[in-house]
Amino acid sequence: MEEIMKKLVVLLVAFAAIVGMTCGSWAADYPTKPITFVVPYSAGGSSDQLVRGMQPYLETAMNATLVPKNITGGGGAVGMSEALFSSKADGYTVTLPSNAVYGLEGLGNVPWKHGDFDTVARIITEDYSITFRADAPWNTLDEFIEYVKANPGTVKMGFSGFGSSTHIVAAAFAQKFGLEFSFVPYQGGSKTVAATMGGHIDANTHHPAETKAGVDAGKLRVLATMGPERSSLYPDVPTMKELGHDWVVSQWRGVAMPKGVPDEVKKVWEDALKKVCADAEFQKFITERMGGTVAPLFGNELDEFLNQMADVFITTAQNLQKDK
């Protein structure tokens, strides 16, 4: 019996070694097949623009094929849940996290928390803005604020689904200035912007990249942006801080994957993203097309930043729940 047990132990050790070698081998060879990049919002929005704009640079850096896949619904919850919790932890399905993950968590719209998956990088930051139909009666931000105060619940404010970052920002904006909006959710930034241009809603809190085409077409107006500095897409539009309001809020976007992806695979992504972010043409795309800033973060610096964002957005979302 003792001899049999010894042989069994030897076999188990050998099997574990083979499994370890096999896993290490496929991780070292990664990627060997197309990678699905889930965009948790509709086509045409800023998340979609970033993934598709980044695609050729990443494909070159990784010597791989990326397949963008739009999965909409729930303010990003459906797509992120599919990518992060219904996919294998092998690096062949990733998604684009943002402030939205904390809004969804704080509102209780998802069963998971931001620590239940791995965010491997921050890629860019970009502003939010206050955008109206071109024929809206307000010529300044203060006129808009005063009108909403005088007419509570009548102004329709749109955003990309309950729990999305644009929802949290719109609600936080209302709280800060003592405003009452009629909130209207849509499945993605492009649909929210289209609804604004079509007169179905009065305003939105979306990003310059999403509103720029409407502004250029004379269908939209932006009265203020929320970043620390003026947007490169709207150099003539003042920030809220310039207008005398202590209000600075920025979006971030990065890359996330399921918990348990091998470190070797995550290292491939980090190295590739560092190359992409250092590319002058990619930087130009982000600045001129999206009005954002290439601002990569990895490792401990990324973790510190994510914890700061979690504190702000989760708390704000939880307060929204209490006020219901």
pLDDT of residue 11: 44
pLDDT value of residue 14: 44
List of domains in the chain: 25-125+252-323 (3.40.190.150), 127-225 (3.40.190.10)
E strand residue ranges, the chain: 35-39, 66-70, 93-95, 117-127, 129-133, 156-159, 182-185, 203-204, 220-225, 250-258, 293-297
Residues facing 225 on adjacent strands: 129, 239
Distance CA 319, CA 40 (A): 25
Q: Tell me how far apart the alpha carbons of residues 127 and 313 are, in angstroms, rounded to a whole number.
A: 15
The predicted structure's pLDDT at residue 27: 65
In this structure, what DSSP letter does residue 117 have? E
* Contact in structure between 218 and 133 (CB atoms under 8 Å): no
Q: What is the pLDDT of residue 70?
A: 97
Residue 8's pLDDT is what?
Answer: 41
Please report the pLDDT score of residue 296 as a whole number.
96
The pLDDT profile of the chain, 324 residues, written as one tens digit per residue, is: 555 544 443 444 444 444 444 444 546 799 999 999 999 998 988 899 999 999 999 999 999 999 999 999 988 999 999 999 999 999 999 999 999 899 899 989 999 999 999 999 999 999 899 999 999 999 999 999 999 999 999 999 999 888 788 998 999 899 889 999 999 999 888 899 999 999 999 999 998 988 999 999 999 999 999 988 899 899 999 999 999 998 888 899 999 999 999 999 999 999 999 999 999 999 999 999 888 999 999 999 999 999 988 988 898 888 877 766
Residue from 208, 200, 168 nearest 184 by CA: 200
DSSP alpha helix (H) spans, 198-238:
208-216
